[in-house]
Each structure stands twice: as C-alpha cells, then as structure tokens.
Amino acid sequence: MSPRVSVIVPVYERTAFLRAAVESVCAQTEASWELLLVDDGSSVSTLDYLDSIAAPPRIRVLRLPHSGNPAAVRNAGIRAATGTFVALLDSDDEWAAGKLAAQLAGIEESGCRWGYTAFVHMNAAGQPLTRSRYQPWRAARFTGVEGVARLDSMIALPSVIAERALITEVGAFDESLHYYEDYDLWFRLALVAPPHELAEPLTRVRRHDEHYSDTSELRTRLDLDRVYARMIEKLRETQVRRAVRRLRAVNAGRLAGIYAAERDIRGALHSLIETSRHSRGEAAWWFGAARALVRGVLLPARRHPPAQNP
C-alpha cells in the first residue's frame, strides 16, 4: 500500500545535521510514511551513511549528479514519491515527534489541501535561539494570496505538507530559481487552495554557517524580481498588485545598488533602465536609483566575503 505521506529530504554532505533530521522523521507518531533522501552528488562518506540507513521501500536513497540546485533536487524526490501527501524537510532541520500526525489531522479535518506550522530557530548544536530576531514564530492568520505575496503569512519550507497531486497541478518547484523558489511555490499553491495553519511550533529550523549559498546577492535579487513579476501577472486585486509593484520597485533599487557597490556604473545604469519599465512610477524606485548612483560614486568598492560551498 502507498504511504500516507512522502517525506522529501534533499541531501548534500552535512552528515552530522542529516542524522538528526532522519531521526526526527523516524520518531514520528504518524506511522504511514516513506522517506526519500535525494542526494545531490555527495562525497563517499555521506553516501556510505545513506546506504547504511536505506531500508526500501520505507527509506529510499535517490542519487543525482551534483547540480547545486535545491529546486531540482526536491522535484526529483516529488516525482519519485508515492504518498498521498508530500512533506518537505531540509537536511539540517528537525520535526517534533507529533508533527506529521497533528498536521495531517488538521489538514484533513479542515478540508484543506496543504498546510504549514509555526517554527522555532535553533543553533548548530540544536539549542534554541532566544535573541529577538530568532523568537519563536507563530503561524499567522492566512490572508489569501495577497498575504503570501506581501509576506504577511510567513511559511517555513520544512513546515509544509501538501497533497502530492496539488504540487503536481501547480508545477512543483521552479528549477530556474536558485532563490525564493519556495516563496514562488507557496504563492502558486495559495492561488489554487487556502492552507491549513497550525500555530504549534512543531518544526525546528537550524541556523548555522553551512547553509546553501552561491554567495550571489545579485542572483538573489534577480530571482526575486522574477517572482514579483509572476505575482503581479496573476494577482487580480488592484490594491494587492500595487503593493507587490512597490515591493518590486524596492528590490529594483537594491539591485542597482549591488552593481554600484562594485563600482559597475554601467551595470547599475543598465539595471535601472531595465527596471524603469515596470517601476519608475514608484517613489521607492527613484530613491533606490539615487542611492545606487551616490553609492557608486562616493563609497569604496565592496569587498567580497570568502566563498561558501553549496
């Protein structure tokens, strides 16, 4: 029989964190699950660990050539999944033991097709982070697609469960996005069906120095611009579209600022010309443009931090 839920975990090294993530899945009070560990070309030591815990059909390992593309890795897991629902978990995060059971019950009782929970932050050692920026977050009241578009309804990826058929219906993760691919998917899911929210923090998100990154702030801003553009195209309410246009204009100014910080004035001007087509009617764009140009002329060039492995 097919499991009730397929748990998708993308893997690339970080075995110490991965062990805790796998243990949190195995500790679930919900019994009907399968775990798909989708490896993105890890080293032999990580593959040895994966082979040691593989127990088909309950725990399966999918081996992929390294791409450094989280969306593509997750999509491979979704395609291989057999459960009615798909639950997403990153290899450095963890769940409380009752997470799947409580969330599935809430989703099914509410008639929703997907949902998310509140979450807490922890450090590399698994200890709770209590500084103000890492205070426990509670699931905000869902305010429609506009809430997702404006980030009023914040959704942590490892907290999400969705019908596998719904994810397939909306097209799963966009593999051309290296950033904000989750944000983009939540918006497309919300266009089709409202989510169930669970205010209990059953998801633990780890903050550490080994997060996925290609160190490209430029790529981050370019991807965010693409997501905003899609939202504006699909949103129907004028007020909400205007709010997202304003967010896009702010992002456009920051995009130009990245070029200016590198003393790439030509790049900054090209960026401003391109983004002026959709954002020049917003005061935020003009402020960002002026700030970018001043930054490029008066401030020293930015020094790059050392590169991180994805």
- Written as one string, the DSSP assignment of 172-234 is SS-TT-SSSHHHHHHHHHHHH-PPEEEEEEEEEEE--TT------HHHHHHHHHHHHHHHHHH
In Å, how far from its chain's centre is CA 62? 21
Q: At 240, which amino acid appears?
A: V
Return the CATH class of domain 5-206: alpha beta
What lies within 8 Å, CB to CB, of 222 at 6+ separation is 255
Question: 67: Cβ–Cβ under 8 A, 6 or more apart, which residues?
Answer: 40, 41, 73
DSSP 8-state assignment for residue 79: H
Closest of 242, 251, 240, 238 to residue 284, by C-alpha? 251
What residue spans define the domains of the chain?
A: 5-206, 217-298
**DSSP character at residue 128:** B
Q: What pLDDT, on a 0 to 100 scale, did the predictor assign at position 133?
A: 63
**Residue partners of 189: CB distance under 8 A and separation at least 6:** 114, 162, 166, 167, 170, 195
Evaluate whether 116 touches 142 at the Cβ level (below 8 Å).
Answer: no
Sign of CA dihedral 274, 276, 282, 288: positive
Q: What is the CA 114 to chain-centroid distance, rounded? A: 16
The pLDDT value given to residue 306: 45
Residues in the chain where the model's pLDDT stays below 50: 213-214, 300, 304-310
Enumerate residues 6+ apart whose C-beta is below 8 A from 273. Answer: none
Residue 202 is predicted with a pLDDT of 96
Confidence at residue 168, expressed as pLDDT on a 0 to 100 scale: 97
Q: How many residues make up the chain in this entry? A: 310
- Looking at residue 267, what is its pLDDT? 83
In this structure, how many other beta carbons lie within 10 angstroms of the beta carbon of residue 34?
21
Cα 196 vs. chain centroid, distance in angstroms? 18
Structure token pair of residue 66:
């390294």
pLDDT at 146: 73
Tell me the per-residue pLDDT of 17-47, one tens digit each, with 9 for 90 and over.
999 999 999 999 999 999 999 999 999 999 9
Residue 218 φ/ψ, nearest 5 degrees? -60, -45
Per-residue pLDDT at 210: 64
What residues pair up with 260 in beta bridges, in sequence order?
Answer: none
Res 301: pLDDT: 53
Element (H, E) at 34: strand 33-40
Of 270, 243, 184, 254, residue with least CA distance to 221: 254
